[in-house]
Amino acid sequence: MTTQKHFPYINDQMFAEDVALSDIAKQVGTPFYCYSNTAIGQNYQNYQQAFSDQDSLICYAVKANGNQAVLSTLAKLGSGADVVSEGEIRRARAAGIPANKIVYSGVAKTKSEIEYALSEGIFQFNVESEPELELINQVAKGLNKIAAIALRINPDVCANTHAKISTGKSENKFGVPISKARLAYKQAALLPNIKVQGVDVHIGSQLTQLAPFEEAYKRIAQLVIDLREDGHDISVIDIGGGLGITYHDELIPAKQDYAGVAKAQLGHLNCKIVIEPGRSLLGNAGILVSSAVFVKAGEERQFLILDAGMNDLIRPSMYDAYHDILAVDKSNAVLKSYDVVGPVCETGDTFAKARQVNESKSGDLIAIMSCGAYGAVMASTYNTRMLVPEVMVKESAFAVIRQRPSYQEVINADSVPDWI
């Protein structure tokens, strides 16, 4: 079970920092996401301290949670941003993250997105393929600009993580195979509107061991040496993200140890190290709070039916992901085994099976833990269910940082042509 000090129990009632979750639920209604501002800040500062003796740039992976309050919190701490779309660039810039701290990743950058990134003056494109490299050069030429780039290298290293979030094996869609890297850099150096400045690698997400990082960084270090021998001025190494969090009983390496591996393998190259943490900054800084609608007795099991569904939190359905599920009020110490499910008309709308939870009844609040990353940002309005509000807490204060839309707003997003 995860231990999340920013969501403690006080007199059997769960709090977010100094605010009772029951008080938030009374004002906001359920379901809602709740984030600890203090947890986000402390997680970021842990990375800062781990890399404090290394020329480095922390670029938060916006894909993990793009809420403006989250991004503003990180911007004020000095964070950059790792983005994968024009929309994420716009989010980062709106939150106050400087363009010269933005790295642009992603396998399918379009002409208009590249134009926007160049016009903003981002720090670096992490280029995923030779055709993308040609397009960036073409667009930069049209704008009379020089595009600073790193090629994302696929090192063919197994990340020992879920297949859907492993990105560093040869069969994955990401990056240039390391066997073809020197040729790709040779081609890049010939393009007049390209500035070759770095190497990028990212092998996956939710890694719980340091060995895959170490192996990938070893291969990248040798590549940098080879590229310098080929005449390329490599000054930046983007090591991606991927460090995991504790969802259940995983033992996660300390950020100091993670940084130690990076510095041991890459520090002698005298490059700026770019780090792209996402989940490890936000994951355990957020939860999803729901209400029990019914407790239903089936023939073989009991179902705890919540008002939150797979459209609000897709991870259990998509990845078979484990999340701790806790009663907000645990004054009833009796534990019961439930299949914890949502209201969506899919059997896959299941958060957990045969899970021990404090005995619950209709109206009781239930917290699904470790939802700060890849939670609200992946939500949908499937079944015409409204996107849930997001709340941020700091000490004894809380604010709604994304409102729950009305049904009319959801319906008004559609339009009916006059020929129907």
**What is the structure's pLDDT at 170?**
46
**What is the structure's pLDDT at 5?**
87
* Inter-CA distances, 186 with 183, 189, 233, 263, 410, Å: 5, 5, 12, 27, 50
Please determine, for residue 245, whether its predicted confidence score (pLDDT) is greater than 80. yes
When pLDDT is cut at 50, 70 and 90, the band that residue 4 belongs to is confident
Q: Which CATH architecture has domain 105-277?
A: Alpha-Beta Barrel (3.20)
When pLDDT is cut at 50, 70 and 90, the band that residue 207 belongs to is very high
Active site members? 345
Quick: pLDDT tens for 35-52.
999 999 999 999 999 999
- In the three-class reduction of DSSP (H, G, I as helix; E, B as strand; rest coil), residue 242 is classed as coil
When pLDDT is cut at 50, 70 and 90, the band that residue 217 belongs to is very high
Neighbours of 103 (CB within 10 A): 26
**What is the structure's pLDDT at 159?**
56
Task: List alpha helices for 166-267, DSSP H.
Answer: 181-189, 211-229, 255-266
Please, which residues have CB within 8 angstroms of residue 232's CB and are 6 or more apart in sequence? 185, 189, 196
Mean predicted confidence (pLDDT) in 176-186: 94
Please determine, for residue 311, whether its predicted confidence score (pLDDT) is greater than 90. yes
> pTM to 2 decimals?
0.94
Domains of the chain, by residue range, sit at: 9-36+283-412, 105-277
CA dist 18 and 395 (Å) reads 5
Q: Is the peptide bond before 253 cis (omega within 30 degrees of 0)?
A: no
When pLDDT is cut at 50, 70 and 90, the band that residue 366 belongs to is very high
Mean predicted confidence (pLDDT) in 287-298: 96
When pLDDT is cut at 50, 70 and 90, the band that residue 201 belongs to is very high
Please determine, for residue 2, whether its predicted confidence score (pLDDT) is greater than 80. no
User: 9-36+283-412: which CATH topology?
Assistant: Lyase, Ornithine Decarboxylase; Chain A, domain 1 (2.40.37)
Mean predicted confidence (pLDDT) in 183-206: 95
Please determine, for residue 400, whether its predicted confidence score (pLDDT) is greater than 60. yes
